[in-house]
Amino acid sequence: MDFFGIRSLPYLTRRNYYFEFKHLMLWGMLASLIEGNAAAIILVKTFGGSDYLVAAASATPIGALVFSSIWGTLCVGRPKLRLTTIFAALCTLCVATVCLTPMTTGGGVLFVVQMAAAQIFLSGVVTVRSALWKHNYPAECRGMIAARLQGVRLFIGVCFLFSVSTLFDYDADLYRYLYPTTAVFGLLAIVILRNMHVRHERSELARQQDPNDREAARAVTVRQAFSPVFLFRGIVDVLRRNPRFARYMLVQMAFGMSVQLTLPVLVQIVSRTADRYIVTALLIDIIPKLLMFASLRRWGPFFDRVGVNRFRVFTGLCASLAILFGMIATCMIVYADSPESHMVTIALVLFGLRGVFHGMHQGGGSLAWNLGHLHYAERHDAEQYMAVHQTFTGLRGLITPFLGMALWQCISWGVFAVSLALCLTAVYGFHRLAESETPGRKPV
């Protein structure tokens, strides 16, 4: 029985795929606790987080990607697997420290800081993973392989979140034991990851150290990597020499803002409307991830066939429907006569439908986000393009949740109308980019 689906892959990809698949079966449990909305839900229900503390918790997973420009710069000219191991170990350490956090308002602030630190190092894992995929999996089947790997991580993560939510309904204080136990699974995942190897890495590293090779990307010092001026120049250089990628980043910025604008608002509304952890987790995190998992099998081959811009048009339409259902549900809660009203029950059902379309969008978005920049990058500078992409993602992630919460307090459900308008504008932008594509353009 070919449980891992190895026989359908090109022969030279099978060994790395096998070990990465096993790694993500364990790593998915740890990642599910620190990415997405899980941390924000725990913050509201366990630590009683305020509106803007919830916005901070929603901002940190995306905002941490600002560091990706640093990680992408450090990645060039250095062994990729070693860097991945270091980032994953530091992320695991941050998760383990949550057991020391008190169940108080001050503990909620500390919890946000711990999750932010874990997410910063997780962004390093994601940055280097893109380089690993570029080296180990050919472009012709990269979308299918990425879909399978993302799928197993999601499936394990969803099952784990369901179990965690059930445990927290029984006793919220169990977080003191849950997080260090999850950190142990993270360490085991790192041990498995070390069995991988990076194809052609030795020859590429040797080329980068050859002073006569002018096309090779050069490694930089740690001091340079942490220099804001150096990083800014690197971002400007990438955008200046590739205007097509700059236009893609502009449209992607509008699209990302439209999706992130309402996330902290949704966490706060659903957490305070639904009494139990499991109901909140189902509507905000579990249903979207189940649909994300279910849709990946279809999205992968479709991505390989149509390219990133046409692909983004379809995921954008799914995101638009999700925002629309969220807006209708929020209006029903805002204008409901009482918490026991039938309108509240219908609103919770609509939040579930919102989760279905949001999960479909996330399924396709996880592929486009990890692989889309490779459509524009050359083979020797894919890490730099990913770093630029993640940095812009992080910048909007730091700003948009707070903007969304401020709009919610000013114009109530109108924040969803603003989000929907931005999303539809981005869909049109991706359509225009797809129409202007050069025929035959292939990713590296």
pLDDT > 60? residue 441: no
For residue 222, count other CB atoms closer than 10 A to its CB.
10
Mean pLDDT of the 101-115 span: 86
Query: Could you give phi then psi for residue 392, rounded to 5 degrees?
Result: -65, -40
Of residues 118 and 212, the one with the higher pLDDT is 118
**What integer pLDDT is reported at residue 349 of this predicted model?**
92
Question: For the segment 7-45, what is each residue's pLDDT rounded down to a tens digit?
Answer: 777 777 888 888 889 999 999 999 888 876 778 888 877
* Mean pLDDT score across all residues of the chain: 83
Mean pLDDT of the 216-241 span: 74
Amino acid found at 151: G
Mean pLDDT of the 277-299 span: 85
Distance CA 197, CA 204 (A): 14
pLDDT > 70? residue 3: no
**What integer pLDDT is reported at residue 61 of this predicted model?**
76
Q: Which domains does the chain have, with CATH numbers?
A: 11-213+228-435 (1.20.1250.20)
- Would you give the distance in Å from CA 369 to the centre of its chain? 8
- Would you give the distance in Å from CA 88 to the centre of its chain? 15
Distance CA 432, CA 155 (A): 35
pLDDT > 70? residue 419: yes
Instruction: Give the global pTM.
Output: 0.76
Alpha helices in 337-413 (DSSP H): 342-371, 382-411
